[in-house]
Structure 1
Amino acid sequence: MRRVLVTGMSGVGKSTVIERLAADGHTAVDLDDAEWSEWVDVEDDDGPSPEKAGQDWVWRADRVRELLARPIERPLFVSGCAANMGQFVPSFDAVVLLSAPKDVMVERLTTRTTNVYGKDPAEVARSLEFKDTVEPLLREVATVEIDTRAPVDEVVAVVVRSADAG
Structure 2
Amino acid sequence: MAVRNYLIEGVSGTGKTSVCRELQRRGYHAINGDTELAYQGDPETGEPMDGSTHERHIWDVDKVKALVANQDEPALFFCGGSRNFPQFIGLFDGVFVLDVDLGTLNRRLDERRDDDWGGNRVERELIVRLHRTKEDIPQNGIVIDATASVAHVVDEIVRQSLMS
Q: Tell me the TM-score range normalised by the shorter chain.
A: 0.7 to 0.9
Q: How many residues of Structure 1 are paired with residues of Structure 2 in the alignment?
A: 155
In structure 1, C-alpha distance between the alignment counterparts of 2:116 and 2:54, rounded to whole Å: 20
Shift of 1:150: 1.0
Note the 1:75-154 alignment, pairs <5 A. Answer: 75-112=75-112, 116-135=116-135, 138=138, 140-142=139-141, 144-154=142-152
In structure 1, give the amino acid aligned to 2:97.
L
Residue 122 to residue 54, structure 1, CA distance change in 2 (3 Å): closer
Residue 69 to residue 104, structure 1, CA distance change in 2 (3 Å): same
Query: Any idea what the Cα deviations from partners look like across 1:83-105, whole Å, max 9, x if unmatched?
Result: 10112111111111100012211
Q: Is the contact made by 1:8 and 1:135 (CA closer than 8 Å) also made in structure 2?
A: no
Unaligned runs of 5+ in 2: 44-50
In structure 1, C-alpha distance between the alignment counterparts of 2:59 and 2:97, rounded to whole Å: 18
In structure 2, give the amino acid aligned to 1:22.
Q
Shift of 1:135: 5.0
In structure 1, give the amino acid aligned to 2:41.
V
Residue 25 to residue 132, structure 1, CA distance change in 2 (3 Å): same
Note the 1:9-88 alignment, pairs <5 A. Answer: 9-33=11-35, 35-40=36-41, 52=52, 56-88=56-88
Q: Is the contact made by 2:8 and 2:78 (CA closer than 8 Å) also made in structure 1?
A: yes
Unaligned runs of 5+ in 1: 43-50
Partner SS, residue 141 of structure 1: coil
In structure 2, give the amino acid aligned to 1:102.
L
Residue 92 to residue 111, structure 1, CA distance change in 2 (3 Å): same
Partner SS, residue 78 of structure 1: strand
